[in-house]
Structure formats: C-alpha cells, structure tokens
C-alpha cells in the first residue's frame, strides 16, 4: 500500500524525528553535535522555520517546529541533512547515506499538545537512562525553556509565552510540567508520530484534513457495511 503524503500545514507546529540508518549513531563526538546545531540554526533562519524544542540523542533527533511557508520545514531538513552528511562522511572516512529515509512527523494541536510535546522531547534522555533529570543533558532545549539559557536555535511559541507575564514566571511554570508523569499524552505522542497522523481532537483533525487534502486520523474501527441484499 502506498504511503500517505506527509501531513504538513503551514502555521501548525510539527513534531518530527530524524534517525540514523539502521539506527546507527549520527553523533560520535561533542563536535558533531556542535556542527549539527550550527547547521540547523543556519537553515532554520534561512527558511524562516522556528524550533520550539529539540533533543540530539546519539542516533536520532527530535524537533518541535513551525513554519509559515509551504514546504519550508522539508527544505530545512533536506538542506541540513545534505550538509551534515558531507561533514560526517568526510570526517569519519565513510560514504553513502546516514539517514533512515523519510523523517517521521505529526502535526500538533497547539493548545492541547504543544507543551506535552515539549516535555516528551526534553525527557527523552531521561527515558533512555542517560541522565536522571533533563537539566543534566546539554543537548536539548530544556535549559533554554526552563532556565532562560541563551540558545540560538530556540524560539518560544505563543503557548509558551502565555505561561506567565515575565521570563521568571514562564520558566517556573514550565519547570512544573516536569514534576509529574503524563503517561497518556506520551503514548498518544508516540502513536501519532509513528503513524504520521495529526495529534489532536476530532475537530482539529477535520480542520487539518480540509486544509491538507489527506486524512489526518485513522478510520474508525469496525467492519464496513455490506451492500443491502437485492431481492
């Protein structure tokens, strides 16, 4: 069965993952992450794409991003990927592809799931057992979003800005999101990302379907009705 086209609608945030081919490492040193970060800053600035949350793991990257122009996000991933692969192959004396193929993505209902996706992304190193707290992991947006540390890659979304009237209030409210588990949201995020569906309620999915021209959610379960018997 043919794959559905990727669900991307300008103005709506997207959670996406880029993985190494065969789950191989895409970062072998801190310098690799520095270069990848620099490439991403350059390309997102060039195409007016905003990154709200991110994490660089050993063999994959999570991004929470939004754009205003059709195709801008895809152009960023393509251009950044080509540049980074050239660097990586030259440095480590290898050739061929580095990426798993098409990046996985899901469109996010902003008011319902945006901050849950922030948390899901920045908790990735904790779930992987690399650190005990997201604050301990250098290569994520947590320190920018929770502590206000300067990060040229991070742009606050209006939903984040609405957390408080001052920087300190927003950062404190953001930190409280990490004080308890949100298991239900985490599972919904994983499922939508794996299958490429929109992450939101029925009205949101219908709106997205009308704008994109493709299904945004799986069909309801159950057998299709049989044709009525002709006497």
Residue 159 counted as domain residue: yes
Q: What is the pLDDT of residue 209?
A: 74
Q: Is the pLDDT of residue 231 over 80?
A: no
Rg (CA), the chain: 19
Strands 50-56 and 60-66: antiparallel
C-alpha 149 chain-centroid distance: 21
Q: For residues 56 and 62, give the distance between their C-alpha atoms in angstroms, rounded to a whole number.
A: 7
* pLDDT range class, residue 214, cuts 50, 70, 90: low
Q: What is the pLDDT of residue 216?
A: 64
Strands 14-19 and 60-66: antiparallel
Selected residue with higher pLDDT from 139 and 213? 139
Please list, residue by residue across 59-84, b when 16 or more beta carbons sit within 10 angstroms of its beta carbon and e when fewer do.
ebbbbbbbbeeeebbbbbbeebbebb
Residue 230 counted as domain residue: no
- Residue 51: which domain range? 14-212
Q: Is the pLDDT of residue 225 over 60?
A: no
- Asked if residue 198 lies in contact with residue 7, where contact means CB atoms within 8 angstroms, the answer is yes
Residue 91 counted as domain residue: yes
Q: What is the pLDDT of residue 58?
A: 96
Q: For residue 25, what is the domain's CATH number?
A: 3.30.70.1290
Residue 119 counted as domain residue: yes
Rounded to an integer, the average pLDDT of 162-176 is 96
Tally of domains in the chain: 1
Q: Is the pLDDT of residue 229 over 50?
A: no
Residue 2 counted as domain residue: no
Q: For residues 71 and 141, give the distance between their C-alpha atoms in angstroms, rounded to a whole number.
A: 24
Residue 226 counted as domain residue: no
Query: Which among 114, 125, 132 is positioned nearest to 177, based on CA atoms?
Result: 114
- Asked if residue 66 lies in contact with residue 151, where contact means CB atoms within 8 angstroms, the answer is no
Residue 174 counted as domain residue: yes
- Work out the percent of the chain whose per-residue pLDDT is above 90: 58
Q: What is the pLDDT of residue 149?
A: 95
Rounded to an integer, the average pLDDT of 65-77 is 89
Residue 3 counted as domain residue: no
Provide the 10 A C-beta neighbour count for residue 231.
3
Rounded to an integer, the average pLDDT of 87-104 is 90
């Amino acid at each position: 069965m043919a794959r559905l086209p990727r669900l991307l609608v300008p103005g709506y945030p997207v959670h996406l993952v880029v993985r190494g081919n065969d789950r191989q490492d895409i970062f072998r040193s801190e310098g690799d992450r520095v270069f990848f970060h620099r490439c991403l800053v350059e390309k997102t600035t060039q195409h007016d794409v905003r990154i709200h949350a991110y994490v660089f793991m050993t063999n994959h990257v999570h991004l929470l991003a939004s754009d205003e122009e059709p195709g801008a996000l895809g152009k960023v991933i393509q251009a950044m990927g080509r540049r980074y692969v050239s660097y990586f192959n030259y440095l480590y004396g290898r050739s061929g592809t580095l990426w798993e193929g098409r990046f996985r993505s899901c469109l996010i209902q902003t008011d319902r799931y945006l901050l849950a996706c922030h948390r899901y992304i920045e908790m990735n190193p904790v779930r992987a057992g690399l650190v005990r707290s997201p604050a301990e992991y250098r290569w994520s947006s947590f320190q920018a979003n929770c502590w206000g540390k300067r990060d040229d890659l991070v742009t606050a979304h209006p939903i984040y800005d609405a957390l408080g009237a001052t920087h300190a209030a927003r950062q404190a409210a953001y930190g409280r999101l990490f004080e308890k588990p949100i298991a239900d949201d985490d599972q919904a995020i994983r499922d939508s990302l794996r299958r490429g569906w929109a992450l939101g309620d029925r009205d949101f999915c219908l709106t997205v379907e009308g704008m994109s021209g493709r299904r945004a959610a799986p069909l309801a379960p159950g057998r299709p009705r049989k044709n009525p018997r002709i006497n």
